[in-house]
Amino acid sequence: MFDTLFEKSTLTHTQSTEQIRARLGEVRERIDLSARRSGRAPEEITLIAVSKTHPPEMLRQALDAGASDFGENRVQEAEAKIEKLRDAHVRWHLIGHLQSNKARRVVKLFDCVHTLDSAELAARLERLCEEEARRELDVLIQVDLGGEATKSGAREDEVPGLVEALGAATHLRCVGLMMIPPFYDDVELVRPLFRRLRGMRDELRARRAFGSGGGELSMGMSHDYEVAIEEGATMVRVGTAIFGARG
Ligand SMILES: *Cc1c(COP(=O)(O)O)cnc(C)c1O
| Separation of CA 133 and ligand 1 centre (Å) | 31
Element (H, E) at 163: helix 159-168
Contact by Cβ (8 Å): 120, 99: no
Strand, helix or coil at 113?
A: strand
As a whole number of angstroms, the distance between CA 171 and CA 159 comes to 19
β-pairing, 172-178 vs 235-238, is unpaired
Residue of the CA atom closest to atom 7 of ligand 1: 222
Q: Does 76 have pLDDT greater than 80?
A: yes
Report domain extents, the chain.
2-243
Residue of the CA atom closest to atom 6 of ligand 1: 239
As a whole number of angstroms, the distance between CA 28 and CA 21 comes to 10
Choose the residue to mutate in 23, 27, 73, 94 for probing ligand 1, maximizing ligand atoms within 8 Å of C-beta.
73
Q: What's the pLDDT tens digit per position in 5-54?
A: 555 556 788 888 899 999 999 999 999 999 999 999 999 999 999 999 99
| Separation of CA 71 and ligand 1 centre (Å) | 8
| Separation of CA 50 and ligand 1 centre (Å) | 6
As a whole number of angstroms, the distance between CA 34 and CA 40 comes to 8
Choose the residue to mutate in 95, 110, 183 for probing ligand 1, maximizing ligand atoms within 8 Å of C-beta.
95
Q: What's the pLDDT tens digit per position in 176-219?
A: 999 999 888 999 999 999 999 999 999 999 999 998 889 999 99
Q: What's the pLDDT tens digit per position in 167-182?
A: 999 999 999 999 999 8
Q: What's the pLDDT tens digit per position in 125-135?
A: 999 999 999 99
As a whole number of angstroms, the distance between CA 82 and CA 64 comes to 16
For residue 73, give the ligand 1 atom closest to its CA: 15
Contact by Cβ (8 Å): 219, 192: no
CATH for 2-243?
Answer: 3.20.20.10
Question: Measured in Å, how far apart are the chain's first and last C-alpha atoms?
Answer: 18
User: Taking the mean position of all CA atoms in its chain, how far away is CA 121?
Assistant: 18
β-pairing, 172-178 vs 216-218, is parallel
Query: Is the alpha carbon torsion for 238, 246, 87, 76 positive or negative?
Result: positive
| Separation of CA 26 and ligand 1 centre (Å) | 17
Q: What pLDDT, on a 0 to 100 scale, did the predictor assign at position 2? A: 47
Q: Ligand 1 pocket by C-beta < 6 Å: which residues?
A: 50, 52, 73, 95-96, 180, 221-222, 237-241
